[in-house]
């Protein structure tokens, strides 16, 4: 059993910087119907080609009048108006309003020319085809003028905006049925290892179920990407190389899991330099040291350890910011803040940065870690800390700098229950 020891390990933040420096947001653009565009990213700015509303309209049910005719209306000297018609929301433009004339008007109906205010039904007295006003109407009362909501030419959406309910409503109000969005980045995931069997298959002796695909697919989806998952490949360097070469041509990022260390059957460290330029192999971080990356044809291939916790920890602190940049999402996927360790001291590994998955409860942080081969080591973690090399043991009650995931990924927004699976 051969080993080719790691060379000099790269610092984790340097590794991340190298990946981000090689990452450009996806440039492909597609049209998306507005009713399906929530949480997509606008590829171009959208301007209103016409004002909204396009015409002066009533914003209440009532009587449209010329405000200047109402100036002398007073409770003790009501002013009479002749009701000359009715206007509903769909009505075509009416005749010009004459002096001391009023039109019954429904919310949303176009104001008759000449009218510049609406008095509501409750505030007038109606007698036959006449109404009496007891107060003046201020010009602009209970109407919307053209462009009041959206002026002609106003920018409704800027390129790079996340499309929100209100932004999509504004685009609809301006009459556009679809919007140009950036394509979701396609993230191809290729697990390798003779021992891996896809869930649902029959386990041979010594085999285990491949579990990183499902977790990675979820993280990719949360970051706005589209996962494309390969079934597990055997430890066959030619097959792995073929798969990686195809993947890097048709996707925006390739994630290979397993085979990333220095053992005899860890093929990625020999394959990646043949496909592209190796950026690093071996990161000074625990868990997750056996990680490597290469740049090939303007795209990245990242090789992640097969151990679920090592793999998923690296997915968060290392790969998530890359996913988000590809998908035009702002920020790395977390916000930094201070927290107090709630229980169970954390002993960093000397000489390494230490990634600690954290659950947050009642303003305190609790490590969820219990071994890098255990998928349950990240159960309920909605944050993590990266303790620098040389950091001393962090004890309960001490402060540490944490990265709070946003969206939380490890639990629901309001803290969906996550049951411990023992330990």
Q: Nearest approach, Cβ of 298 to a copy of itself (angstroms)?
A: 26
CB atoms within 10 A of CB 158: 11
- d(CA 211, CA 307) in angstroms, rounded, equals 9
Q: Nearest approach, Cβ of 348 to a copy of itself (angstroms)?
A: 19
Q: Nearest approach, Cβ of 29 to a copy of itself (angstroms)?
A: 18
- d(CA 268, CA 292) in angstroms, rounded, equals 8
Q: Which residue, 54 or 100, has its beta carbon nearer to a copy of itself?
A: 54
Q: Which residue, 276 or 290, has its beta carbon nearer to a copy of itself?
A: 290
Q: Nearest approach, Cβ of 249 to a copy of itself (angstroms)?
A: 22
Q: Nearest approach, Cβ of 230 to a copy of itself (angstroms)?
A: 11
Q: Which residue, 68 or 130, has its beta carbon nearer to a copy of itself?
A: 130
Q: Which residue, 389 or 415, has its beta carbon nearer to a copy of itself?
A: 415
Q: Which residue, 162 or 245, has its beta carbon nearer to a copy of itself?
A: 162
Angle at 87 between CA 175 and CA 129, to 5 degrees: 170
Q: Nearest approach, Cβ of 4 to a copy of itself (angstroms)?
A: 11
Q: Which residue, 213 or 354, has its beta carbon nearer to a copy of itself?
A: 213
Q: Nearest approach, Cβ of 264 to a copy of itself (angstroms)?
A: 7
- d(CA 37, CA 124) in angstroms, rounded, equals 46
Q: Which residue, 339 or 359, has its beta carbon nearer to a copy of itself?
A: 359
Q: Which residue, 226 or 391, has its beta carbon nearer to a copy of itself?
A: 226
Q: Nearest approach, Cβ of 338 to a copy of itself (angstroms)?
A: 16
């Amino acid at each position: 059993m051969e080993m080719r020891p790691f060379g000099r390990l790269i610092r984790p933040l340097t590794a991340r910087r190298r990946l981000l420096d090689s990452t450009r947001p996806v440039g492909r653009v597609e049209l998306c119907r507005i009713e399906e565009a929530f949480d997509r990213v606008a590829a171009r700015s959208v301007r209103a080609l016409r004002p909204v509303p396009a015409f002066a309209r009533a914003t209440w049910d009532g009587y449209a009048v010329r405000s200047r005719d109402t100036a002398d209306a007073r409770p003790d000297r009501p002013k009479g108006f002749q009701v000359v018609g009715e206007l509903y929301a769909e009505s075509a433009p009416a005749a010009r309003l004459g002096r001391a004339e009023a039109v019954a008007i429904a919310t949303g109906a176009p104001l008759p020319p000449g009218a510049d205010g609406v008095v509501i039904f409750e505030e007038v007295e109606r007698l036959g085809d006449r109404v009496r006003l007891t107060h003046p109407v201020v010009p602009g009362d209970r109407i919307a003028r053209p462009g009041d909501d959206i002026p002609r030419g106003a920018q409704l959406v800027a390129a790079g905006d996340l499309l929100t309910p209100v932004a999509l409503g504004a685009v609809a109000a301006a009459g556009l049925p679809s919007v140009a969005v950036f394509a979701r980045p396609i993230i191809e995931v290729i697990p390798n290892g003779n021992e891996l069997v896809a869930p649902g298959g029959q386990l041979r002796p010594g085999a285990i179920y491949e579990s990183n695909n499902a977790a990675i697919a979820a993280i990719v989806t949360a970051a706005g990407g589209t996962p494309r998952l390969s079934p597990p490949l055997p430890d066959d360097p030619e097959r792995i190389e073929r798969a990686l070469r195809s993947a890097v041509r048709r996707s925006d990022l390739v994630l290979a899991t397993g085979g990333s260390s220095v053992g005899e059957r860890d093929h990625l460290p020999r394959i990646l330099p043949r496909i592209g330029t190796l950026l690093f192999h071996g990161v000074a971080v625990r868990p997750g040291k056996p990680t490597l990356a290469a740049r090939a044809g303007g795209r990245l291939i990242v090789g992640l350890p097969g151990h679920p916790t090592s793999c998923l920890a690296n997915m968060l602190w290392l790969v998530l910011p890359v996913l988000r940049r590809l998908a035009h999402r702002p920020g790395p996927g977390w916000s930094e803040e201070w927290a107090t360790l709630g229980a169970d001291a954390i002993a960093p590994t000397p000489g390494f940065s230490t990634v600690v998955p954290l659950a947050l409860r009642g303003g305190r942080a609790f490590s969820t870690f219990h071994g890098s081969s255990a998928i349950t080591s990240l159960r309920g973690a909605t944050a993590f800390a990266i303790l620098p090399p040389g950091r001393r043991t962090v004890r309960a009650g001490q402060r540490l700098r944490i990265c709070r995931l946003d969206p939380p990924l490890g639990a629901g927004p309001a803290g969906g229950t996550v049951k411990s699976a023992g330990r």
